[in-house]
Structures are given as C-alpha cells and as structure tokens.
Structure 1
Amino acid sequence: MVYQASSTRYAEMKYNRSGKSGLKLPAISLGLWHNFGGLDIHENGRAMLLRSFDLGITHFDLANNYGPPPGSAEEMFGKVLKSDLGAYRDEMIISTKAGYHMWEGPYGEWGSKKNLISSLDQSLKRMGLDYVDIFYSHRPDPNTPFEETMGALDQIVRQGKALYVGLSNYTAEQTREAVTILKGLGTPLLIHQPSYSMLNRWIEGGLQDVLDEFGVGSIAFCPLAQGLLTNKYVSGVPSDSRASGKSQFLNTKDITEEKLNQIIQLNELAASRGQSLAQMSLAWVLRGGRVTSALIGASRVSQIEENVAALKNLEFAPEELEQIEKILK
C-alpha cells in the first residue's frame, strides 16, 4: 500500500527556531540510535518513522555508527525514504554525524578532515541522499586542531553536502572556541546536541549560557535518561529493560535506592499534572525555551504517540518546579 502522509500532520506539533537561525525544528525529534538497525524488524522501524511524520515530527537524527551493526540505521532509513518518504524530502530535516569509531585504520574515527568528509560521503550513499540538512562533529578530537575539524564542516557546507553544521558532546569552552572559528569561516554553528535530562543537568553549568550568547540552538538527547524517567522503573527493574544488564549504556548499578525513590516521587508529581513521567520529563527539558528540541528514542509506535502528547502541557507552576528541585536534591 502506498504511503500518504496525514493531512493533519502539522496541526498539533510545536516548532521552535534553532537559536538565531532561520530553521525551525519540531519540539520532539526522533533519533535512530537504537531499534532501527539491521538486527531490528524493518516493518516496526518503518511504522515508527511513518507515524512520527504523521504526528508532525519532521526531524530525524542519525549517525554513521547507529545500528547495530554500524551504518545499518542509515541504510534502513534510506530504504524507507525510497519506499515511502521520498516525496516529502523537502518537509524533512535529516541529520547525521561522524566522530566515533566506524572503520578500521587511523581515519575511521575522531575529527580529522579525512574522517569527517569520508564518513559523510558514506552516509549519503547509505541513505541515498545528495545532502543532509545538518551534519555534526559527534565528539571533540583531542589530537586534531579545532581549526581542521571546523574547516572540514565549513567545506562540507560549501560543497553542498550539508545545509547546516552542529556539534555534539562538546563542553562549554570547546563550543565557544568552535563557534568562534566557524563564525570566522562564514559557516555559523546551527545547533549543539548534548545529553540533558532531570537526572543529567551538566549543560546548566555553562554550556547553555554559551549557546544563548552566540544564538545557537540545542537538541537534548537522552531526555528520558535511557528510560529511567518513564514508568518502567517505578516498581523496580523489569527483566527486559536496559538496566537489567542488556545494555552497555545502563545497568542495575544505575538504579540506586535513592534514584528509585526520586523516580517514584517524580511519577507522582507527573500524575498530578495529568501526565506520564515520560511526558513530564520531556516538558521539563523544553521548559523556558532554552532547548529547541527533545530527541526521543523509541521501540514501538505507542511510545512516540505518548511522547508527542507531552506537548499538550508544557507549562509548570512555580511550585511544581520547586517540588522537582526538592525531589532531585
């Protein structure tokens, strides 16, 4: 059956301008870090992508190494573009990244011009695209001058392989240096992608101020703290969860008694707001307008629907914010 996008796809989604740029991003974006690779069921991934677009999610975030295996998320996304979403390409923001290990030898990771340009060429081929909308340096390279890394991003834009450039996992001071170099080259930094959630607030220690100072947008990954900020852990650690030992990124040692008690209290507050814990957590990340978009992951369509519904209640009373701070202390 030929896919036809919903005629009401823009009715409910909220779109925020990325910094001082002309680009707007959906308040909720979809990341293809997990559950869209070669080891996953294609039809489930396709269903999540199509439902996301029908809900107004226009931004799809990838990286060269997403899968598993590495590269397979881009391949899967390319297949859905070809079969279903290609006609809507100009309505979509597609991003990818390079910086983490992707292939053998000295050029398969980090931030050299060789790695970034070679990686993007591979990504474009996997997805069947002429260009991506945003291309990121996925992490700072301690051994490559920032002038080279930023020069590569500038060259990529001038070659027409990306419309905008971004950074991910850069500290406040590294971001300040990168922004300055890019500005001098004439390719402004569009966006920064840091980890950020109620349980991980490192960007409040300076990075948010740098982004505000230079008019750079932000998109928060792991806004649900790898699933900790969902009702999944309210009653303990389920056997099929990431924290049960099935993920290299989250395990049982991350679920302390203190953290579990925090999650239970936050869940009670969310319920008093008429939201799930996941919905309140997304609303909290987006509070005040300093974060452009919250980047969600998903393993099924219902999770995407639940997360997008967070946009129905983004406002917090002062006493609610005070209660969250008290719980997190």
Structure 2
Amino acid sequence: MPANGTPHQAAANRYERLPYRHAGHSGLRLPAFSFGLWQKFGTDHPYATRREIVLHAFDLGITHFDNANRYGPPHRAAEKFFGQVLREDLAPYRDELILSTKAGNPIGPGPYQRGGSRKSLLTSLDHSLRDLGTDYVDVFYSHSPDPGTPLEETVGALATAVTSGKALYAGISNYPPEQAHAAAGLLRSAGVPLVVHQPRYSLFDRGPELNGLMDLAARDGFGLVVYSPLAQGLLTDKYLGDSIPVGARARSSAFLSPDVIDDTYRERASALHELALERGQSLAQLALQWVLRRPQVTSALIGASSVWQLDHNVGSLDFPPFTEEELVLIDKHGVHGTAL
C-alpha cells in the first residue's frame, strides 16, 4: 500500500484533456504528451514526489510512461519505482497504460549488459518485466544501434519479444534514417511492424528534419515519439539570465554542460522567449507546441520535477496555431546546433 494507506483513485475526466494520435500507420494511439522517467526518477529523489507527479500525469490523460533499464540512478531504479506505483496505485488501470522500456545501452561492465544481441536485449526485457511487476510491456525498444551486432539479430530479438507476448509493439531509438529504414523492412518481413522511433528533436536540435527521418517516418509508417523537446531545459526561461540558477540541471547533470550556455544561446533563446510572451505563453510552451505541429510526431516526451511544471507544459496545447510570420521568426532564432 502507499505510504498514506490509500491507493490512487484516477480522475474521472482523465480522457478529456489530451488529444491522442495514431503511431504511424498502426492502430496504437498515444497521448500528445508522454511521460519520461529518464531523469529525476531514481533513488536520489523522494519517492512521494515522484509518485505524486506520475499519478497526476495519469489524471491528465498521459497514459504512456517511457522507461529504460538505464534510468535511475542507479540503473533500473526508475523501473523499480514505477513497478511500485503500478502495484500500489495503478494496478486497476493497467489496461489503460502504455508502458515502454528500452535495452541496449550500457548498464554494467559485462558483455551482456550492453549492445543489441539477443542475449542482451531479451535478458534485459525479462529483468524489466520483473522490476515493473507486469507480464508484458506495450513497447520494447532497441535503445540505440549496436555496430558490433548484425541488425538482423537485433531486429530478430525485437520480433521475438513481440511474438512471445512479452511486448505488444516493437520500437527503436536513436537510429539514423538508413538503419531505421532497414530495421523497418526487417521487422515488416517478420510480421512485426516498426511502430515507433524515438529520436531527439527540438528547436535547437532539428536532426529529424535535416537528415530525412521525418520523411522516412511518413513513408515507412512509424510514428515519432520525440525526446528532449525542451533541449534539457535550455528552451525554458531558466538560463536566460547571466548566471546558472542553483539547483539547475546544468549544474549537476551528465547530459548538460554549463559550457553550452553562452552568449549565442542566450541571444537566440531570449528572442524566442520574447515571441512566446507576445503569444501569451512561456518559452517552454512555445517549444513544445512547435514540436507537436509536425504530423509525424505522435507524442512528445516530457519529464517534470513538480506537478506545477507538468500542468504548465501540458498547457502548451491551449494556444492557437503559429502564423506563417511566427514560424519564420522561430526558424530565424531556433537554430539547429545551438547549445549542442
């Protein structure tokens, strides 16, 4: 039971807030926002806070919760945390949840704790099912391509995960377009279509536009679940001042260096911030709305360190579409490669 002894009672109106979009050509529909447990969902943050945020996300209609064996710290801690919430609060709603997990990126020194081999992927999936306390995940991803393993073997492991019933859908993450296209073809031949691809995408990282992944998604029929749409917090007002705030991610995260917060970044982010203010929204809301404007983007992955932040980000759905003039200004200041 939860610490307060009362399991969560989900909001009755939880399906009235968010739109749901088909993942590519599949029948799977995902909420416009998915919740990622990449950062701040390890044992270094209070359980009660993490639980509150996850349950509030579900009450908002966020049914898709994205995990990976690496997420923590330590590795697998985020899955164990979600498994406890599932057991104590969300078990009655398991059929309403889309749970995803990934394997392939390093989680330890052993040769089977990394890479895209059948051994690595399928063993990790079994551990994830144990930690989540569920018989299946809805989406199982290859976290990134492995040059040391034939793509046919990696794809075969994904297909086995689906045909064995341990996953309902297959996905890939961080694959460049040519490998994504090859993986989609191999999965299609195995009778297990590629449903989702998870790339990084934001105003400051337009890789999926520039490398052809957006066009490929439309042709091959998979949806994009994009991560880091706020560029690790750089597309918020947090870093617009002359100094990095105490407690900011750039002071402690291995994924964001304070060195990238330079004058060029501040100039571009400040211009986008001013445009957002003219529209009556925050920079974060503008950035999220911009990502979701693309039809190939099924869902944007967001995290949150508070319920307020979660509500604020979901509020990006409440603003009118961008005008052509606004999109020109956004293109001028949302320059690929900024702060990367």
* TM-score clears 0.5: yes
Q: 1:13 aligns with which of 2, 9, 18?
A: 18
Tell me whether 1:308 sits opposite 2:298 in the alignment.
Answer: no
Tell me whether 1:98 sits opposite 2:103 in the alignment.
Answer: yes
Whole-Å Cα distance in 2 between the matches of residues 235 and 165 of structure 1?
Answer: 43
Q: 1:88 aligns to what?
A: 93
Query: What does residue range 279-298 of structure 1 map to in structure 2 within 5 Å?
Result: 279-298=285-304
Q: Give the Å deviation of 1:85.
A: 0.6
Whole-Å Cα distance in 2 between the matches of residues 99 and 281 of structure 1?
Answer: 30
Secondary structure at the residue paired with 1:240? coil
Deviations 1:187-225 (A, max 9, x none): 000000000000001111211111110111001100000
**TM-score if structure 1 supplies the norm length?**
0.98
Q: Percent identity?
A: 51
Query: What does residue range 38-77 of structure 1 map to in structure 2 within 5 Å?
Result: 38-77=43-82
> Please, which moves more after superposition, 232-241 or 64-73?
232-241
Q: 1:323 aligns with which of 321, 326, 329?
A: 329
Query: What does residue range 203-242 of structure 1 map to in structure 2 within 5 Å?
Result: 203-204=208-209, 205-236=211-242, 237-242=244-249
Q: Which amino acid aligns with 1:35?
A: K
Q: Which amino acid aligns with 2:264?
A: E
On the 8 A contact 1:15/1:24 being kept in 2, the answer is yes
Q: Give the Å deviation of 1:273.
A: 1.2
On the 8 A contact 1:287/1:314 being kept in 2, the answer is no
On the 8 A contact 1:26/1:59 being kept in 2, the answer is yes
> Please, which moves more after superposition, 165-174 or 305-314?
305-314
Q: Give the Å deviation of 1:8.
A: 0.9
Specify every segment of 5 or more residues in structure 2 that has no aligned partner in the other structure, as ranges: 1-5, 336-340
Q: 2:154 aligns to what?
A: 149
Q: 2:194 aligns to what?
A: 189
Q: Which amino acid aligns with 1:32?
A: L
Q: 1:179 aligns to what?
A: 184
Whole-Å Cα distance in 2 between the matches of residues 288 and 75 of structure 1?
Answer: 34
Q: 2:165 aligns to what?
A: 160
Whole-Å Cα distance in 1 between the matches of residues 228 and 91 of structure 2?
Answer: 28
Whole-Å Cα distance in 2 between the matches of residues 116 and 314 of structure 1?
Answer: 43
Q: Between Structure 1 and Structure 2, how many residues are aligned?
A: 328
Deviations 1:114-150 (A, max 9, x none): 0000000000000101000000000000011010000
Whole-Å Cα distance in 1 between the matches of residues 172 and 127 of structure 2?
Answer: 19
Q: Give the Å deviation of 1:290.
A: 2.0
Q: 2:279 aligns with which of 273, 276, 298?
A: 273
Q: 2:123 aligns with which of 110, 118, 121?
A: 118
Q: Give the Å deviation of 1:300.
A: 1.1
Whole-Å Cα distance in 1 between the matches of residues 109 and 329 of structure 2?
Answer: 49
On the 8 A contact 1:284/1:314 being kept in 2, the answer is no
Report the RMSD for the aligned CA atoms in angstroms: 1.0
Change (3 A) 1:70 1:201: same
Whole-Å Cα distance in 2 between the matches of residues 258 and 39 of structure 1?
Answer: 33
Specify every segment of 5 or more residues in structure 1 that has no aligned partner in the other structure, as ranges: none
Q: Give the Å deviation of 1:303.
A: 0.9
Secondary structure at the residue paired with 2:26? coil
On the 8 A contact 1:222/1:295 being kept in 2, the answer is yes
Q: Give the Å deviation of 1:314.
A: 5.6
Q: Which amino acid aligns with 1:241?
A: A
Secondary structure at the residue paired with 1:40? coil
Whole-Å Cα distance in 1 between the matches of residues 16 and 303 of structure 2?
Answer: 22
Secondary structure at the residue paired with 2:203? coil
